[in-house]
Structure 1
Amino acid sequence: MGKALGDILGLAAGVAVSPLPIVAIILVLATPQGRLNGPLFTLGWVAGLSALGGVMLAIGGAGGSSAHQQPATWVGVLKLILGILLVLVGIRQWRHRPAGASQAELPKWMAAIDRFSPVKVLGLGIALSAANLKNAPLTLAAAASIGSSGLATGQQIASLAIFVIIGSLGILAPLAVFLFLGDRARNVLGGWKDRAAQHNIAVMAALFFVLGLKLLGDGLGILTS
């Protein structure tokens, strides 16, 4: 189980460092129903990562992802494809980054978060985790690594749970600040939101590129072993 965790910890950290979802949950917490919508957003986030990872584990189990105690060829191909995708997206985002932090713009839908119903907030959490262009490939790659590790089913589930917990730290931190810091939470979260918004594209571009290279290396290592 230790090897599987070693393979996924970096990927989980990459999921946790997600500026846009961090901005989203801070905006959700600032709404009049923040105490309800914040946990709902977090629940959606955790459910999205868990469902996507669980589907990949099931596919891996059905497809024989572990062959002779080594990851199967298709796992290497998957990581190679995901790595190439992330590198290309990272390059594109870096080339199109704003010239200055003051020019960074957030998606227009964020302006309407205060009007989201609880169901929409839950769906937003799911979408920003499972349908995110960075998080989805990282979650699929992590689940493929777990599925190809040869671990028993219970240990695979435990490994995926650890991945989800670490990958959710970026969302859990603002929620904890909101719930436990009282009046000070507004200033703390406001500072976090401003920094995350200003540096969103640059941070994401760097993460795409670095984590894409990691997956490329992993995939090549599997295919050439």
Structure 2
Amino acid sequence: MGHAVGDVLGLAAGVAVSPLPIVAIILVLATPQGRRNGTLFALGWVVGLAALGALMLAVGGTGGASAHKHPATWVGALKLALGALLVLFGARQWRRRPKDASQAQLPKWMAAIDHFTPVKILGLGLLLSAGNLKNAPLTIAAGASISSAGLPVPQQIGTLAIFVVIASLGVLAPLAVYVVMGERARSMLGSWRDWAARHNVAVLAVLFFVLGLKLLGDGISVLAG
């Protein structure tokens, strides 16, 4: 199990560093029912990651590894494809980055968060985790890695739970600060929001490149092994 956890730690960290979802939960926390809405957003986020990871475990089952504990060929092919996809997204993000970070603009839908119902906020958290162009491939890759480790089902579930917890730290941190500090957290969270908004595109481009290259390397290693 330790080897499987080691394989997914980097992927989980990549999911945790998600500027746009961090901005989103800070905006959610600024709504009149901030604590309730922030909790719903975080719940949607966790459920999205867990559901996508569990789907990959179900697809791979306990047969994702050979008798010699070597990942199956499909795992290598999947990582290779996901890695190439992330590298392409990284190139696209880098070309789109604003030359002046202060000119960066947030998606227009964020201006309407104040009017989101609790169901919409829950759905937003789920969408930004399981439906995100960076987070979904990383979560799928993590599920494939866990499946390919040849672990029994309880250990697979435990490893996935560790992945989800670490991958959720970026979103849970603002919620924890808000719960502990209350209204005093507004200025601190505002600074986090502004920094994430300014550097969202550049941070994502770098993460796409680095994590894409990691998955490409993992895929080549599996296929060549």
TM-score normalised over the length of structure 1: 0.98
CA distance, structure 2, for counterparts of residue 173 and residue 15 of structure 1? 14
> Superposition pairs for residues 165-180 of structure 1, below 5 Å?
165-180=165-180
Match of 1:128 in 2: 128
Q: In structure 2, what residue type is equivalent to 1:221?
A: S
Q: Which residue of 1 aligns with 2:40?
A: 40
Matches within 5 A, 1:6-21: 6-21=6-21
3-state DSSP of counterpart to 1:211: helix
Gaps of 5+ in 1: none
SS of 2:149's partner is coil
Question: Superposition pairs for residues 13-162 of structure 1, below 5 Å?
Answer: 13-61=13-61, 64-68=63-67, 69-162=69-162
Residue aligned with 1:93, SS: helix
Q: Could you tell me how far apart the structure 1 residues matched to 2:182 and 2:43 are?
A: 22
Within 5 Å, which residues of 2 pair with 1:171-190? 171-190=171-190
Q: Provide the aligned length of Structure 1 versus Structure 2.
A: 224
Report % sequence identity: 71
1:55-102 Cα offsets, whole Å, 9 max, x none, are 00000017x311121100000000000000000000111011101111
**Whole-Å separation in 2 of the counterparts to 1:38 and 1:177:** 11
Tell me the amino acid that sits aligned with residue 91 of structure 1.
Answer: A
SS in 2 for 1:66: coil
Distance of 1:139 and 1:150 partners within structure 2:
18
3-state SS of 1:181 partner = helix
What is the CA distance between 1:184 and its match in structure 2?
1.9
Q: Deviations over 1:25-59 (max 9, x none)?
A: 00000000111100000000000000000000000
Output the aligned Cα RMSD. 0.7
SS in 1 for 2:151: coil
Q: Secondary structure at the match of 2:84?
A: helix
Question: What are the within-5 Å matches in structure 2 for residues 181-200 of structure 1?
Answer: 181-200=181-200
In structure 1, C-alpha distance between the alignment counterparts of 2:39 and 2:182, rounded to whole Å:
16
Q: Which runs of 4+ in 1 moved over 3 A?
A: none
CA distance, structure 2, for counterparts of residue 133 and residue 20 of structure 1 = 12
Structure 2 length-normalised TM:
0.98
Look up the equivalent residue of 1:175 and give its one-letter code. L
